[in-house]
Structure formats: structure tokens, C-alpha cells
């Protein structure tokens, strides 16, 4: 008497035996016979889920904690890239020094990948303006133009600081081009001079430079100022 519905076939491709007492693998959930139930005999691809051994870093011999179901090789690789204290790992991290400016991204590259619009460094994954949500108005600015704008802002800030320093050196009021010193007030009282400047009256150099100008006009003005600063002064002939 045959029982065709009794038992199940082994899931091993080279076996397929009809076993009346089949066993299920607790890792891959497949049915196997008594000869192929072990992880090694049926080459179980999910056996790492049942491996509770803690992996150890091959460079610094530090145990790497992992969660159940995670691949040990991936966690050990992340430890070597970030936290390993061995000399080979530290030398590798010194090469990858260009960190991505995208918020939440910890990727580092060997070379700088600079955006043409915001001029910040990004990884290869976030190098395009749409990938890192570029906050500019969409008009690319060349490296020379960006450098010219930075030089013009630096020159305007230096001129503002020099004017403030000269004003601090000469605190007395000026009348008709003649500086009034303390001898003029030797017989009388010295007038009170304000020593603080309201923050509302201080205008940022970048705002005063670009007030009422478009980006193209500001760039052109910055280039003209840069060329004027770099041009040598002509000595007058006597």
C-alpha cells in the first residue's frame, strides 16, 4: 500500500529523497532529510543569522558588536573605516579627508568634488545640485568669479575696519577741516562724545556692495575692482 501524500522531498538539489520524517532548517526554513539537515551539508545561505559569535577586527583585535541578522563583514568594514585605532586604518583615513557637506552623509572622498553653484565639497553621490538641495538661485558661478567676489568683500571689509580705526584714533569733532584738540577746551568743559555705535547703523559690506545690483552686475563690479587692485600704480612724470 502506497502513501503518496506522506512525507516530503528533500530540498537539496542532489538528493530529492522522499523522507517520511522531514526536518525544517531553522535558518532558511527549507525541508531536508536527515543527511542534509545541517548547515554545512546543504550549504545554508542564512546560517549567519544563527551565528551568535562576536566578530573581531583583524587589525586591532577589538570585538565588534553586531545585531542579530546583520552581516559581520559589513560591520567590521565600517569599524575599520571609522573607529579602528590601528596604523593601517589611520593611514587610510588620512587619505579620505574630504567630507561631504550634505547633512547626514558621512562619506569621504580622496579628492575634492566642489559644486559649481554653492562651492561646497560633496561626495560623488551628492555632487549634483539636485542631490544636495543646492540653495543658490540656479545660476552657476565660475571659480574666478567666486574668488573675485570674495576678494571684493574682503577689500570692502578691510576699508571699513580701517575707517573705524582712524575714527577711534581721532575722537575729537572736526569743524571746517580743523581738528579741535583738548587745548581749545582748556577753559571750558569738554563736550561728551558718544563711544558706542548703534548696531542698526552698521551695514554689512556684502549688503552695501550688492545693494540694488543683480548678480551679474555684482560679479562684473567685483571683477573690475579686482583688476583695479592688481593693476600697478603709474608714477607721475615730473
For 129-169, the pLDDT digits (tens) are 888 888 765 555 555 666 666 777 777 666 666 666 655 55
Q: Is 133 left (phi over 0), alpha (psi -120 to 50) or beta?
A: left
What's CA 23's distance to the chain center, in Å? 53
Confidence category of residue 94, pLDDT binned at 50, 70, 90: low
What whole-number percentage of the chain has pLDDT above 70?
Answer: 59
Most confident of 106-115, 166-175, 190-199: 106-115
Q: How many Cβ atoms are within 10 Å of 123's Cβ, its own excluded?
A: 19
Let me know the angle formed at the C-alpha of 171 by 170 and 175, rounded to the nearest 5 degrees. Answer: 85
What is the predicted pLDDT for the residue at 187?
Answer: 45
**Cell (9 digits) for 229:** 587692485
Strand partners, 157: none
What is the structure's pLDDT at 144?
A: 64
Q: How far apart are CA 226 and CA 204, in angstroms?
A: 20
pTM: 0.26
Q: Does domain 8-51 have CATH number 3.30.420.40?
A: no
Q: What is the DSSP letter of 48?
A: G
> Is 51's pLDDT higher than 80?
no
Helix (H) or strand (E) holding 229: helix 215-230
Q: Mean of the pLDDT values across residues 42-48?
A: 86
Contact partners, residue 149, CB within 8 Å, separation at least 6? 141, 218, 219, 222
Q: If 0-12 CB within 10 Å is exposed, 13-18 middle and 19+ buried, where does residue 15 land?
A: middle
* Residue 67's pLDDT band (cuts 50, 70, 90): confident
User: Is domain 98-158 annotated with CATH 2.60.110.10?
Assistant: no
Pick the more confident residue, 159 or 190: 159
175 three-state secondary structure:
strand
Residues of the chain with CATH 4.10.1110.10: 8-51, 98-158
Nearest to 145 by CA among 206, 224, 208: 224
Amino acid at each position: 500500500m502506497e502513501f503518496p501524500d506522506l512525507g516530503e522531498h528533500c530540498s537539496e538539489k542532489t538528493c530529492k529523497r522522499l523522507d517520511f520524517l522531514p526536518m525544517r532548517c531553522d535558518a532558511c526554513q527549507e525541508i531536508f532529510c536527515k543527511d542534509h539537515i545541517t548547515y554545512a551539508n546543504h550549504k545554508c545561505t542564512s546560517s549567519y543569522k544563527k551565528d551568535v559569535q562576536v566578530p573581531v577586527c583583524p587589525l586591532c583585535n577589538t570585538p565588534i558588536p553586531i545585531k542579530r541578522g546583520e552581516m559581520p563583514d559589513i560591520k567590521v568594514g565600517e569599524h575599520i573605516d571609522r573607529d579602528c585605532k590601528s596604523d593601517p586604518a589611520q593611514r587610510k583615513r588620512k587619505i579620505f579627508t574630504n567630507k561631504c557637506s550634505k547633512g547626514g552623509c558621512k562619506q569621504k572622498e580622496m579628492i575634492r568634488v566642489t559644486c559649481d553653484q554653492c562651492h561646497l565639497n560633496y561626495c560623488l553621490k551628492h555632487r549634483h545640485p539636485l542631490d544636495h538641495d543646492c540653495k543658490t538661485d540656479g545660476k552657476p558661478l565660475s571659480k574666478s568669479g567666486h574668488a573675485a567676489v570674495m576678494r571684493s568683500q574682503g577689500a570692502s571689509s578691510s576699508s571699513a575696519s580701517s575707517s573705524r580705526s582712524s575714527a577711534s584714533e581721532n575722537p575729537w569733532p572736526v569743524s571746517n577741516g580743523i581738528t579741535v584738540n583738548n587745548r581749545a577746551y582748556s577753559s571750558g568743559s569738554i563736550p561728551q562724545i558718544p563711544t558706542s555705535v548703534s548696531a542698526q547703523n552698521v551695514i554689512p559690506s556684502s549688503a552695501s556692495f550688492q545693494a540694488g545690483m543683480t548678480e551679474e552686475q555684482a560679479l562684473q563690479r567685483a571683477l573690475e575692482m579686482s583688476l583695479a587692485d592688481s593693476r600697478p600704480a603709474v608714477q607721475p612724470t615730473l
